[in-house]
């Protein structure tokens, strides 16, 4: 088998949100931090929890559950912030807990069924089944945009 025939591999960081399992491409993850109280800013969208100071940099933090339309949840010390880098902008994503890092090939991914009126609004780019667990792969570009990051 030549290198050209080998399917592209990728690593995903899996995490929990409202008792469901989601994942992100690990190449977009810069670090994982424990829950830190945020400083809210006026006129920010409800899913933007505010900002934190990350080693001298002001970082917007988004409640990912609210951003995905899931029920609002109480924040506990078990929550974590996944710091992601998208289009040279860093954003914190508040999640319930980080689960694992999984490695798979693009052949292991399946496209999600079309359930949105516009395909551009679908935040789930793919689905995969790992040990009977259905894991949603999030499309970071539809979740985090420069406009949303700067709205914090």
pTM: 0.86
Q: What is the pLDDT of residues 15-69, one digit of tens each?
A: 999 889 999 999 999 999 999 899 999 999 999 999 999 999 999 999 999 999 8
Fold of 9-142: OB fold (Dihydrolipoamide Acetyltransferase, E2P) (2.40.50)
Q: What are phi and psi of 100, to 5 degrees?
A: -165, 170
Cα separation of 95 and 63, whole Å? 7
Name the residue ranges covered by the structural domains of the chain.
9-142
Q: What is the pLDDT of residues 15-26, one digit of tens each?
A: 999 889 999 999
């Amino acid at each position: 088998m030549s290198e050209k025939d080998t399917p592209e591999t990728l690593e995903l960081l899996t995490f929990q949100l409202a008792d469901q399992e989601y994942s992100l491409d690990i190449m977009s993850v810069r670090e994982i931090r424990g829950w830190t109280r945020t400083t809210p800013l006026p006129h920010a969208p409800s899913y933007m929890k505010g900002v934190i100071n990350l080693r001298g940099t002001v970082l917007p933090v988004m409640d990912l559950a609210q951003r995905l339309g899931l029920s609002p949840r109480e924040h506990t010390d078990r929550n974590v912030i996944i710091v992601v880098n998208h289009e040279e902008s860093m954003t914190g994503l508040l999640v319930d807990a980080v689960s694992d890092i999984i490695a798979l090939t693009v052949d292991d991914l399946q496209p999600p069924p079309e359930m949105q009126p516009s395909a551009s609004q679908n935040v789930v780019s793919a689905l995969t089944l790992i040990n009977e667990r259905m894991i949603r792969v999030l499309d970071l570009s539809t979740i985090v945009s420069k406009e949303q990051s700067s709205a914090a």
